[in-house]
Amino acid sequence: MLAYQRHPRTGAEVALTTLSVDNYITRPPVYYNTRKLHRYTEPRLVRQMIDWLLRHGAHAERWVAKAAAGTGTAAGVYDIRQLVVDGKACHSVARISRTPVTNLHLRNERSSLEALGLSEQTRRSVAEAAEQALAAFPGARSAGVDVMVSRSGKPYVLEVNPYGDLLYHVLHEGADPYEWQLRCFAAGEDGRRGIEREESGACPT
């Protein structure tokens, strides 16, 4: 991931990324993930990194400024990992950072949406955006949807993670993400079996 910005008047460039590169004279450069966020402003190096990422199938997204929330050490811009199971939003966690990049493996903070002070309207708009995103994948029953909220309050879906349910210490109606998914999947399977029995003329048991 690389966040790129260019000043419209001066042309000054800045890139924020965990990517780094070692350049050599006698052999090709070596690119690697440092798991630390770096800020690059040298145009030649910025272009080199962007070119390398694009050669490997990267796609470009508009950089939308994220809303800020929280207090103290847990204050900063945020986005939300919203789990959706069988079309309904359930578990969620906010990821908070003092940089535009909120990934938790970069030692950013995490919080519940309530502790972050998000309004009911914001929480509902995030849930609806995540539900609509999963609905774009027919047959998908579960995904962790990353949703950001702009400074104007508009939700944007960042990505849909098919294995995005690793949410520690987060409960929904008393169940962790895995227990909740099993409940929903079992209920859905029982419902489908009942429909099949009705269509075949068999009595449900």
For residues 3 and 15, give the distance between their C-alpha atoms in angstroms, rounded to a whole number: 6
Q: Tell me which residue of 166, 126, 161 sits closest to 145, measured CA to CA.
A: 161
For 28-84, how does the pLDDT look when each residue is reduced to its tens digit (9 = 90+)? 999 999 989 999 999 999 999 999 999 998 888 888 999 999 887 678 999 999 999
Average pLDDT, whole number, for the chain?
89
pLDDT score for 103 = 86
Q: Tell me which residue of 96, 106, 110 sits closest to 37, measured CA to CA.
A: 106
Q: Tell me which residue of 57, 4, 49 sits closest to 23, measured CA to CA.
A: 49
pLDDT at 200 over 60: no
pLDDT at 195 over 90: no
pLDDT band for 141, please (50, 70, 90 cuts): very high
pLDDT score for 194 = 47
pLDDT score for 199 = 45
The whole-model pTM stands at: 0.82
Residue 38 token pair: 């770096």
